[in-house]
Amino acid sequence: MNKIVSYIIIFIAIGLAVFNAYHINYNDMWADDSRTAIYGVLVSLIVVMIVLINLQSLKVKEKLK
């Protein structure tokens, strides 16, 4: 995966996490809409972590060459 594509994916995932965090009803967090928003935030953060791990592996791969 290209570095530019990785940074674009990170930007989109952070944007989706912020968007979903805005839709969480903090008074009733386990309502249907809030639960979906919580899952969206968690999935977005997991995507960010996976892409960051991929970027680190690319750096290691370049150093080994």
pLDDT (0 to 100) of residue 28: 87
**Distant-in-sequence, close-in-space partners of 55: CB < 8 Å, separation ≥ 6:** 3, 6
What is the pTM for the complete model shown? 0.86
Q: What is the pLDDT of residue 24?
A: 93
| 34, 24 contact by CB (below 8 A) | yes
Q: pLDDT digit of tens for each residue in the chain (65 aa)?
A: 788 999 999 999 999 999 999 999 999 888 888 999 999 999 999 999 999 999 999 999 999 98
Distance spanning both ends of the chain, measured CA to CA: 17
Tokens matching residue 3? 């570095």
